[in-house]
């Protein structure tokens, strides 16, 4: 049986890197099959302490398409990307999945 999942192509990766030039310092690009998650830092405008000035953010892409959401952790970004692929752009399934997993840990 042939899989319907495609890996992110090199052209899509270069487009993602090009789009990220304007958001902040690009740190890493995590790729898992059809999902690409860009890790970058943005400068927090209200911080006066230089150590806390930069904040990490994660932007998810599915098949090279931006999901138009920024997350505070890699786990949230990946869960959202998977839900986005299956449910579409207005899904909340990724957030509920992460909440369920976090509640399981505390039991």
Work out whether the CA dihedral 23, 26, 28, 32 comes out positive or negative: positive
Q: 92: closest CA among 100, 64, 61, 30?
A: 100
**Which residues neighbour 10 within 8 Å (Cβ) at sequence distance 6 or greater?**
none
- So where are the chain's domains? 10-106
Q: Is the per-residue pLDDT at 83 higher than 50?
A: yes
- Residue written as token pair 């740190």: 27
Per-residue pLDDT averaged across 47-70, rounded? 79
Q: 52: closest CA among 62, 66, 42?
A: 42
pLDDT of residue 84: 92
Instruction: Judge if pTM exceeds 0.75.
Output: no
SS3 61: strand
Task: Report the alpha-carbon angle 83-88-93, nearest 5.
Answer: 35
1-37: per-residue pLDDT in tens? 344 556 777 788 787 777 776 666 777 888 888 899 9
């Amino acid at each position: 049986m042939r899989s319907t999942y495609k890996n992110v192509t090199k052209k899509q990766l270069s487009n993602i890197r090009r789009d990220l030039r304007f958001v902040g310092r690009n740190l890493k690009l995590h790729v898992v099959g059809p999902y690409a998650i860009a890790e970058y830092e943005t400068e927090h405008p209200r911080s006066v302490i230089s150590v806390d000035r930069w904040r990490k953010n994660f932007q998810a892409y599915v098949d090279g398409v931006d999901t138009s959401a920024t997350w505070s952790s890699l786990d949230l970004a990946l869960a959202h990307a998977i839900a986005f692929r299956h449910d579409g752009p207005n899904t909340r399934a990724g957030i509920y999945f992460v909440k369920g997993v976090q509640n399981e840990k505390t039991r």
